[in-house]
């Protein structure tokens, strides 16, 4: 895979991870009210947080690995 494509994919994963973590934080603090049209309980907000954190860390790792190969 081309290095520029890896950097773009890593950047997309990082931004998507940040958005998902922020959504999970807002959903956690909403006390069961609808967030963006979704009713998410406190325990259900744990899933987007974990997935967002994994996307964020995976994106950063991909960016870091491609920067070292140059």
Who wins on pLDDT, 1 or 5?
A: 5
pLDDT of residue 21: 94
Task: State the residue range of the domain holding 52.
Answer: 3-68
* Nearest Cα residue to 13 out of 65, 46, 53: 53
Tell me the whole-structure pTM to 2 decimals.
Answer: 0.82
Dihedral (CA of 19, 22, 28, 30) sign: negative
**pLDDT tens sequence across 34-49:** 877 878 787 888 898 9
Confirm if 52 and 16 have CB atoms less than 8 A apart.
yes
Q: In total, how many domains does the chain have?
A: 1
């Amino acid at each position: 895979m081309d290095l520029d494509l890896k950097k773009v994919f890593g950047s997309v994963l990082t931004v998507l991870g940040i958005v998902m973590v922020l959504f999970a934080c807002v959903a956690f603090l909403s006390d069961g009210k609808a967030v963006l049209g979704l009713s998410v309980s406190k325990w259900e907000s744990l899933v987007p947080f974990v997935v967002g954190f994994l996307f964020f860390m995976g994106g950063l790792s991909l960016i870091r690995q491609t920067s070292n190969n140059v």
